[in-house]
C-alpha cells in the first residue's frame, strides 16, 4: 500500500515517526511531506525519514489562505503522480485532496471544535475518517468520528516507545537528581491562536527571578528568544527535549503540546494561556489525572501560588509518577493502534464502530 504522511508541525514528526517505521517494516511504501519548517526537517533528518518539502509556512490569515491553495494543488499532483492509497495527517490539504482523488484521508485532531472553528468547518466534513481522543467524545459535530483512549503524545512517549536517557542531561551540564526547571514559551501564530495570550515578558522575568532559588532554569521558545532571557536558553538538539522534560523538576509555560508532553511523562506542569480550562485533552490531564494545572494570564498571581505550593511537596516527582501510572493504565499505545487502523483500513474503522473496546488490544 502507498501511504502519504503529512507533517505540518514539528510535533507531527514525533506523532508519526514510529508509525512510519512500523509501516515500512511491514512492507508499505511511505511518502512523507513537510512544510518548510526548519525544526521539523531537522527532526526528520535525525530520524532518517526521507521527505518532500512542499513549501513555506505563513503567519497571517491572508497568507495562509493563499498558501493553502498552493498546497492543495501540489498535493493533488503528488497524489496522482505516486498513486497514493491513504493520506494520514492533520492538514487541510489532505482532506480536500481526498475529495478530488481516489486517496482516502485519515485526519487526527485532538483540539475542540470551538477552539478551531475554521478547521472544524473546512477539514472535518471533507476527510474520510476523523480520529480523536476519548476526551472529545460527544463534543464533535462530525458524528462519525472514531474515538480512542489515548493522547497524541502517547504515540511517542508511551513506555512502549520511550525511555529517558540521562546522557541528555550531560548536554546541559547536569546529572540525574539535579533540580532544574524547563520554561516553554509559544509564539501564538496559528490561525486559532488569534486573540490568545500567553505569559508576558514581565511575568517571564518574574518567574526566572523566583525560580532561580530552587534550581537551574532552561528556556525553550517556539520563535526567537527575548534578549532579556537569552542567558537561560536551552541549547540542545530537538530530539533530546523529551528526556530533559522527563528529568525536570517542573515545566512551566504557555505552550499546548509541550505541557501535554510533560504531563504524560509524569513531570509536574503549570500552563498559563487564554486556553486554560477550555480544551478537553488538557482538561482531562488536569481534572481527571491531576498531572497539570492551568491558569489564564490574568491569574498569574494564583499560578505563582500553585507553583509555591508544589515546590513544598515532598517527593513531588514520585507523586507525579504515581499519577502517570494511573493514567497509562487507562490509555492505549497510540502508535500500535494507528498502524493497525491504517493497514486494515477501511474495515478497521467498521471494527471500531461496532466494538469500541477493540482498541484495548493495543495496550
2-158+332-362: which CATH topology? Rossmann fold (3.40.50)
Residue 120 pLDDT = 95
* Residue ranges of the chain assigned to CATH 3.40.50.2000: 2-158+332-362, 167-329
**What b/e sequence results for 64-95 when a residue is b if at least 16 CB atoms lie within 10 Å of its CB, and e otherwise?**
beebbeebbebbbebbeeeebbbbbbbbbbbb
Mean pLDDT of 117-123: 93
Confidence band, pLDDT 50/70/90 cuts, at residue 193: very low
pLDDT in tens, 314-344: 999 999 999 999 999 999 999 999 999 999 9
pLDDT confidence of residue 37: 87
Q: Chain centroid to CA 230: how far? A: 25
Q: Is the dihedral of CA 332, 133, 42, 86 positive or negative?
A: positive
Q: How far is CA 211 from CA 141, 174, 175, 227, in A?
A: 43, 17, 19, 19
* pLDDT band per the 50, 70, 90 thresholds, residue 192: very low
Q: Tell me, rounded to whole angstroms, the distance of Cα 82 from its chain centroid.
A: 29
Residue with cell 515545566: 251
Summarised one tens digit per residue, pLDDT across range 156-186 is 999 999 999 999 999 999 999 999 999 999 8
CATH class entry, domain 167-329: alpha beta
245-262 pLDDT, tens digit each: 999 999 999 988 899 999
The overall longest dimension of the chain from CA atoms, in Å, is 60
Amino acid at each position: 500500500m502507498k501511504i502519504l504522511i503529512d507533517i505540518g508541525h514539528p510535533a507531527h514528526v514525533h506523532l508519526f515517526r514510529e508509525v512510519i517505521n512500523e509501516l515500512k517494516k511491514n512492507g508499505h511504501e511511505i511518502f512523507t511531506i513537510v512544510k518548510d519548517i526548519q525544526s521539523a526537517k531537522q527532526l526528520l533528518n535525525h530520524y532518517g525519514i526521507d521527505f518532500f518539502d512542499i513549501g513555506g509556512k505563513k503567519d497571517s490569515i491572508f497568507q495562509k489562505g493563499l498558501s493553502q491553495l498552493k498546497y492543495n494543488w501540489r498535493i493533488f499532483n503528488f497524489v496522482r503522480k505516486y498513486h497514493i492509497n491513504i493520506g494520514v495527517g492533520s492538514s487541510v490539504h489532505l482532506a480536500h485532496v481526498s475529495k478530488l482523488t481516489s486517496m482516502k484521508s485519515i485526519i487526527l485532531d485532538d483540539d475542540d471544535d470551538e477552539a478551531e472553528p475554521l478547521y472544524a468547518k473546512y477539514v472535518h466534513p471533507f476527510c474520510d475518517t476523523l480520529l480523536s481522543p476519548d476526551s472529545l467524545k460527544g463534543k464533535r459535530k462530525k458524528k462519525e468520528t472514531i474515538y480512542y483512549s489515548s493522547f497524541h503524545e502517547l504515540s511517542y512517549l508511551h513506555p512502549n516507545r520511550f525511555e529517558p536517557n540521562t546522557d541528555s542531561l550531560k548536554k546541559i551540564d547536569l546529572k540525574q537528581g539535579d533540580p532544574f526547571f524547563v520554561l516553554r514559551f509559544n509564539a501564538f501564530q496559528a490561525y486559532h491562536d488569534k486573540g490568545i495570550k500567553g505569559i508576558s515578558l514581565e511575568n517571564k522575568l518574574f518567574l526566572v527571578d523566583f525560580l532561580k532559588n530552587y534550581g537551574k532554569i532552561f528556556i525553550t521558545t517556539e520563535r526567537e528568544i527575548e534578549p532579556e532571557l537569552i542567558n537561560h536558553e536551552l541549547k540542545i538538539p530537538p530530539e533530546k527535549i523529551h528526556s530533559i522534560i522527563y528529568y525536570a523538576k517542573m515545566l512551566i509555560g504557555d505552550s499546548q503540546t509541550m505541557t501535554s508532553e510533560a504531563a504524560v511523562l509524569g513531570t509536574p506542569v503549570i500552563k498559563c494561556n487564554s486556553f486554560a480550562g477550555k480544551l478537553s485533552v488538557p482538561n482531562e490531564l488536569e481534572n481527571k489525572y491531576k498531572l497539570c494545572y492551568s491558569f489564564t494570564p490574568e491569574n498569574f498571581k494564583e499560578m505563582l501560588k500553585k507553583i509555591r505550593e508544589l515546590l513544598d511537596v515532598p517527593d513531588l516527582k514520585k507523586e507525579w509518577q504515581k499519577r502517570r501510572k494511573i493514567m497509562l493504565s487507562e490509555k492505549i499505545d497510540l502508535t500500535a493502534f494507528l498502524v493497525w487502523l491504517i493497514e486494515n483500513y477501511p474495515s478497521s474503522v467498521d471494527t471500531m464502530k461496532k466494538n469500541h473496546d477493540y482498541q484495548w488490544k493495543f495496550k
